[in-house]
Structure 1
């Protein structure tokens, strides 16, 4: 059994394939955290020490024991109001505006299968074969009628434990939740590093590693979206942890709105890691009988380094977060029209581009921004989702039929959460935008944000999109989102503190209706590139545009950081023209193709009609190679062999049965008469031999994993190369 309960001591033990998680209800009714680490047996309550540590200890009135205080005890769901001065998960105001609660154990229940969260993304199970179980533990404060149901979803074969919480008003008076986070891990001792992923538009998810010293290290997003500045994913690890050794724990937030993630080292050298909703502009009133869901956090543990931690998350997200027809299918190689034409295209131009794409082996044409309403630039027409037939030279149906006749699928770009002031929608319904009365609105990319917390707004956008998608054979939709939420005012909200939470729930409502109505469409998430790359969006969009920056060298760092928490199958990655339009660097097409083929959504962003014949031949060769390796890239175990700060950045995919390995690398340092450089694969079958399929050379797996193989000594700058090893 994944969940084992000692009813006599109220000790709850959750077991996955390699890890054990344990907590207990203490004699005073508080739920204490005991252990999360290597799989083990027995009770770990001995890890908690009791002593009179300070004359300033905070002890509940009915405890009267100076060796006992929540200010140092490790907890499962710390709350504001019982003497714990560390960062809490929940803060509540009662009907009189008084802060403070006292949450104690009430009941528990075990259910078969993994819990689901109504209207929200969450890890799912696929029946008894997954062995999933759910533990529900309810805490309560009867004084204010507060109940918190803690949900633990154990996915033993994936080596992950999921947590969520449901806050309920079971009393007779309203109260307000001013802070709500989902999960924490309390460590009684240890010296740790905290790893987070920072960035900005066009340079997302760069790895940051810091010592978790005394005080609090916090990252988060106040932007209304999960953001490219900080990703809702955090790792805590031993100070000496590497890819292959050391202990590591991670939290991944299944939420696309604002978040907070924190690592706090206390006065007694305890460390608390926690994650949940952002406090910023959040206050959620609950009337009697109402409830509020704290979104899911995915947790995993590795005793063998950061590589295993990532592989656990990759399997979980790829197979039990991503859903639908495209979860396990090869994604079509696509050509996006943006960098070829920007807004300046016609239907005939798109068909001409599609003809060249078909000749090179590309499988889908995507029509980007500019096809709707009066959209001739990015100052107008967002919100007017009807086809500009004059621009296309006919109906959308006719254009798609022409492209399909060439053997290509057809995709389309949308940005449904936004509205232009110069649009029919805004002129008709100005109150549908989030804007503060009497204050000039803050614009981003000359657009406002639609109020997706309102059902009538969501219904209008949903119906407009359906009217477009129903016109033609649409196979792919790129869902963009190009600004953050600044002005927070909803014309119909009873409390503005609930709007950001309700906005994200509203976004999920629209996406869920669309993916259910159009199960054949491959939806790709995008937010000015990769500024909303999170597990919540991946529940609806099987892949996300990793960054607007397609420069091969910058992408090495972006995709490297992304790989710590997300599988390659979720990363949209394309080859674009050089010099690159963002940083003006020129890299060989071999490097651009090598880096882009490390993602599951491979394609091109350039004008094929402007390419020399040699480049076209390269594209044909790249597409042929991609078809040979895409199954291993999409489903294989991923290894970071070296990073973007090394002389050569290298990575590897190994098939589940070990029969095939794909190693990609880009050479970053070129020196005159330089030393030889080597790449050392991992994850091969010990004792076996592998043939490199390009050269035919045969290698012993053990020697390869020990000493590696040499890279070319005389190489062009930024040379990119892919090696394929087949087990003999």
Structure 2
């Protein structure tokens, strides 16, 4: 059947699918200019001797019943029966670049609905729905989305991490067997960001074929990339279910989370740029079409010590520094004097705020700033009025002692009364106060999560989504930040309900360089919170000058994390300077095309952002430690218009000086730093500019503007 071969296409990427008698992706790669469905017959596979006498396809569901002998896409049973389904296509519907394939296994009484959509950005989204067609429940062990990879995808890049050390990349060569990431912490997690990148050996920022996938899911997950013994390769992603957690009743459909996939023939930058474009056009939605406001968050400034008069003085100084949104962090509600008590008691602490929050909010608004506040609704302290009244509201399995984390337990959102309590208290907070912004935290993993004696990690995640959906509909102009101890809940699904991420509780500028670069592979700068902290980092005690801290925070959604009343005038001037610099460039930063730049020295990180019209570009070079070489290598500036002329400008630097007496400084600066200079975009992209010699833990900012 020639109509069994269908294509989804974009300007950069094509996906070719064989739909009958089962659905199988035959091709996922560069756009094909001269494709004909009959071309697909060239990929009809031979059958090897010594094995099965029929071909074994890697279908959309990767059923074991086809003789896959690898990791199947579906595992489950009905009281021990119907445990090896094989789906045969019963219907195909294509509308534009969206394809829906329906398949059934009459013996197992299961229906499979597979939805594939190729966006104009080049991003492919896939999800499966499995429907039970019999009276008895079908127990689900696994349902995964499987995508084939080209045989040349022999290197894998993934991300590890921990609290205050998120988004750390690592690579493995994959010639045989599998590479697996599993997360069982009940949230997206600091440790195992749900993404994998596979590509040609030594793929880089600017070169190589890469296939990147991200699972849009905020709970337990498993990602796998496998090299089969026959040489074929595939990537698999799924929500991970705890034993007995998931069953489908008759007529019910269980949908997998969406898998987002980006192929690029132009290295990691091409992959990232497709993901960024997809998010900007399909997922990221801010309540107002306005610049992202510069923040000041009070946490590292005052912690739990809340005095309204003092906070209003902080707001005065924040406004003078150029802050546009002022956020009161943890410590505003009843009995919250430290992190050992009061979570769940979402009533104002009248001892701290005898006149209520409104005078503080009015003061902040009168200064021309928006107002934000911190909450952690999913948690409950054992030392709280809520726990004393409802100890049975804890998410737990009966008969086991729950370990606290940060002295807290988790509130079971599957209990209707607990859910409605949070809706009522959050509605009081957001409905009776002029709140523009909510910093939504979540500081504890799910240990033995249970509801009615059964595992309930998946259900807890879905109830969290429902809670945000209810509040988002009720308060559509309020922005929400997904915090979760920093990088613990950052993914595309929670981004459909929030507007900003807090990548890490670590404001150390040196650590932030790696953390923010890792996050940039999948997220654009406008949703990445990047704060200038105290000169002595509260997380690491490492100290950096204001220039390094300010420049590191520039390429995200900028904020301050400190008490501005306690710093000297030099620091204040630095905050003013970098807030103003961010405002000057934020339209480019938050709408332009981001480029990470390969440098020959691993201690040197370089990146840039070029405006969509290619009139302006902003580039930063950060020196993380002592360079390997005595000279910096030239900086090439990708993304410019080849035929245009650009003026090169030094925008910010760490007080670079010359010396003729030895030491760490230079005898002579690069020529473009001594006198104004222009060059063609082609020259800047291909040859670049010479860089000054940078000291460890410093950065330099360079602008280019079309003339």
Cα deviation, 1:288-330, whole Å, max 9, x if unaligned, reads 111111111111211121110110001111231122425x532
Distance 1:264 1:37, change over 3 A: same
Query: What corresponds to 2:23 in structure 1?
Result: 31
Counterparts of 1:255 and 1:39, CA distance in 2:
29
Instruction: Pick the aligned partner of 1:372 from 321, 329, 333.
Output: 333
Instruction: Pick the aligned partner of 1:608 from 557, 564, 582.
Output: 564
Counterparts of 1:237 and 1:647, CA distance in 2:
24
Counterparts of 2:415 and 2:99, CA distance in 1:
34
User: 8 Å contact 2:211–2:263 — kept in the other structure?
Assistant: yes
Alignment pair present for 1:12 and 2:6: yes
Counterparts of 2:687 and 2:586, CA distance in 1:
27
User: 8 Å contact 2:101–2:113 — kept in the other structure?
Assistant: yes
Query: What corresponds to 2:365 in structure 1?
Result: 404
Query: What corresponds to 2:606 in structure 1?
Result: 650
- 1:404 CA displacement: 1.5
Counterparts of 1:676 and 1:202, CA distance in 2:
30
- 1:191 CA displacement: 4.7
Q: Superposition pairs for residues 688-707 of structure 1, below 5 Å? A: 688-693=644-649, 694=651, 696-707=676-687
Counterparts of 2:603 and 2:246, CA distance in 1:
51
Query: What corresponds to 1:223 in structure 2?
Result: 185
Q: Superposition pairs for residues 183-194 of structure 1, below 5 Å? A: 183-187=145-149, 189-194=151-156
Query: What corresponds to 1:204 in structure 2?
Result: 166
Instruction: Pick the aligned partner of 2:486 from 513, 520, 529.
Output: 529
Give TM-score, length-normalised by structure 2: 0.92
Instruction: Pick the aligned partner of 2:377 from 397, 410, 416.
Output: 416
Counterparts of 2:250 and 2:164, CA distance in 1:
46
Query: What corresponds to 1:538 in structure 2?
Result: 495
Alignment pair present for 1:49 and 2:45: yes
User: 8 Å contact 2:82–2:108 — kept in the other structure?
Assistant: no
User: 8 Å contact 1:248–1:305 — kept in the other structure?
Assistant: yes
User: 8 Å contact 2:5–2:40 — kept in the other structure?
Assistant: no
Counterparts of 1:351 and 1:9, CA distance in 2:
68
Query: What corresponds to 1:431 in structure 2?
Result: 392
| C-alpha RMSD of the superposition | 2.0
Q: Superposition pairs for residues 252-651 of structure 1, below 5 Å? A: 252-281=214-243, 283-325=245-287, 329-491=290-452, 496-497=454-455, 499-599=456-556, 601-642=557-598, 646-651=602-607
- 1:667 CA displacement: 2.4
User: 8 Å contact 1:34–1:74 — kept in the other structure?
Assistant: no
User: 8 Å contact 2:341–2:382 — kept in the other structure?
Assistant: yes
Q: Superposition pairs for residues 162-173 of structure 1, below 5 Å? A: 162-173=125-136
Give TM-score, length-normalised by structure 1: 0.90
Deviates more, 1:422-431 or 1:666-675: 666-675
User: 8 Å contact 2:139–2:244 — kept in the other structure?
Assistant: no
Query: What corresponds to 1:145 in structure 2?
Result: 109
Instruction: Pick the aligned partner of 1:712 from 675, 692, 695.
Output: 692
User: 8 Å contact 1:142–1:171 — kept in the other structure?
Assistant: no
- 1:258 CA displacement: 1.0
Secondary structure of the residue that 1:36 maps to in structure 2? strand
Query: What corresponds to 2:16 in structure 1?
Result: 22
Secondary structure of the residue that 2:258 maps to in structure 1? strand
Secondary structure of the residue that 1:559 maps to in structure 2? helix
User: 8 Å contact 2:307–2:353 — kept in the other structure?
Assistant: yes
Deviates more, 1:403-412 or 1:184-193: 184-193
Query: What corresponds to 2:137 in structure 1?
Result: 174
Distance 1:334 1:45, change over 3 A: same
User: 8 Å contact 1:433–1:448 — kept in the other structure?
Assistant: yes
Query: What corresponds to 1:3 in structure 2?
Result: none
- 1:570 CA displacement: 1.4
Secondary structure of the residue that 2:505 maps to in structure 1? coil
Distance 1:343 1:645, change over 3 A: farther
Secondary structure of the residue that 2:7 maps to in structure 1? strand
- 1:534 CA displacement: 0.9
Alignment pair present for 1:682 and 2:638: yes
Distance 1:454 1:266, change over 3 A: same
Secondary structure of the residue that 1:631 maps to in structure 2? helix
Distance 1:628 1:213, change over 3 A: same
Secondary structure of the residue that 1:679 maps to in structure 2? coil
Query: What corresponds to 1:129 in structure 2?
Result: none
Query: What corresponds to 2:667 in structure 1?
Result: none
User: 8 Å contact 1:145–1:172 — kept in the other structure?
Assistant: no
- 1:451 CA displacement: 1.4
User: 8 Å contact 2:160–2:168 — kept in the other structure?
Assistant: yes
Counterparts of 1:590 and 1:140, CA distance in 2:
61
Distance 1:94 1:82, change over 3 A: farther
- 1:671 CA displacement: 7.0
Counterparts of 1:646 and 1:91, CA distance in 2:
43
User: 8 Å contact 1:188–1:269 — kept in the other structure?
Assistant: no
- 1:621 CA displacement: 1.1
Q: How many residues in Structure 1 have an aligned counterpart in Structure 2?
A: 679
Cα deviation, 1:424-472, whole Å, max 9, x if unaligned, reads 2212222211122221111111111111233332221111111011222
Counterparts of 2:433 and 2:269, CA distance in 1:
44
